[in-house]
Amino acid sequence: MATKLPKTDVVIVGVGWGGGIIASELTKNGLSVVGLERGKERKTEDYYMVHDELRYALRYEMFQDLSKETITFRGNEKIKALPMRSYGSFLLGDGLGGSGVHWNGQTFRFLPYDFEIKSKTVERYGKSKIPDGMVIQDWGITYDQLEPYFNKFEKTAGISGEENPLGGKRSEKYPTPPMKITPGMKLFSESCKGLSYHPYHMPSANLSEQYTNPDGIARAACQYCGYCERFGCEYGAKADPVVTVIPVAINTGKFELRTHSNVRRILHKGGKATGVMYIDTTTGEEYEQPADIVVMTSYVFNNVRLLLMSDIGKPYDPKTGTGVIGKNYAYQVLKGAGIGFYEDKEFNIFAGAGSLGMCIDDFNGDNFDHKDLKFIHGANISYSQTGARPIQNNTVPPGTPTWGKDYKAASVKYANRHLNVGAQGSCMPFQHHYLDLDPNYKDEFGDPLMRITFDFEDQDRELVKYMGAKCGEILKQMGADKVVANTELAPYEITTYQSTHNTGGVIMGDSPDTSAVNNYLQMWDAENLFVIGASAFPHNSGYNPTGTVGALAYRAAEGILKYHKKPGSLV
Partner 1 sequence: MANETEEQDLKDDKEPDQSRRNFLKNTGYAVGGLIVGGVVGSLLRTPKKPTTNTGNTAVNKPPAAETVNFNQALMYFTQEQFLITEAATERLFPADDNGPGAKEIGVAYYIDHQLAGEWGTNGKEYMQGPFFKGETTQGYQGRLKRREIFDIGLQEMQNYSNKKFQKKFKDLTPEQQDTVLKAFETDEVKLTTISASGFFKTLFGSTLEGVYADPLYGGNGNMAGWKLKNFPGNQMSYTKIIEQDKFEKMPPVSLREHLPHG
Q: At what angle do helices 546-565 and 143-157 cross, to 10 degrees?
A: 100
Nearer to partner 1, 220 or 570 (CB): 220
CB of 55 to partner 1, least distance (A): 8
* Other beta carbons within 10 Å of 487: 18
Nearer to partner 1, 42 or 555 (CB): 42
CB of 432 to partner 1, least distance (A): 16
Q: At what angle do helices 183-194 and 458-477 cross, to 10 degrees?
A: 100
Q: What secondary structure, in 3-state letters, does 83-115 show?
A: ECCCCCCCCCECCCCHHHCCCCCECCCCCHHHH
Nearer to partner 1, 231 or 563 (CB): 231
CB of 187 to partner 1, least distance (A): 10
Cβ(204)–Cβ(160) below 8 Å:
yes
Strands 522-523 and 526-531, bridge-based pairing: antiparallel
Judge whether 564 counts as a catalytic residue.
no
Residue tagged active-site, from 260, 501, 539, 564: 501
CB of 40 to partner 1, least distance (A): 14
Nearer to partner 1, 70 or 261 (CB): 70
CA gap 329, 432 in Å, rounded: 9
Alpha-carbon distances of 434 from 321, 379, 381, rounded to whole Å? 10, 23, 27
Minimal CA–CA distance to 110: which of 37, 167, 32? 167
Q: Is residue 265 helix, strand or coil? A: strand
The amino acid at 495: T
* Other beta carbons within 10 Å of 73: 22
Residues 6+ apart with CB under 8 A from 211: 158, 175, 176, 218, 219, 221
CB of 31 to partner 1, least distance (A): 27
Nearer to partner 1, 187 or 529 (CB): 187
CB of 1 to partner 1, least distance (A): 27
Nearer to partner 1, 49 or 570 (CB): 49
Nearer to partner 1, 37 or 94 (CB): 94
CA gap 206, 240 in Å, rounded: 9
CB of 146 to partner 1, least distance (A): 31
Residues 6+ apart with CB under 8 A from 48: 234
Cβ(530)–Cβ(520) below 8 Å:
yes
CB of 423 to partner 1, least distance (A): 22
Residues 6+ apart with CB under 8 A from 426: 332, 333, 364, 365, 377, 378, 379, 463, 539, 540, 541, 542
Nearer to partner 1, 115 or 454 (CB): 454
Alpha-carbon distances of 303 from 29, 60, 280, 371, rounded to whole Å? 25, 22, 19, 37
| Positions marked active-site | 501
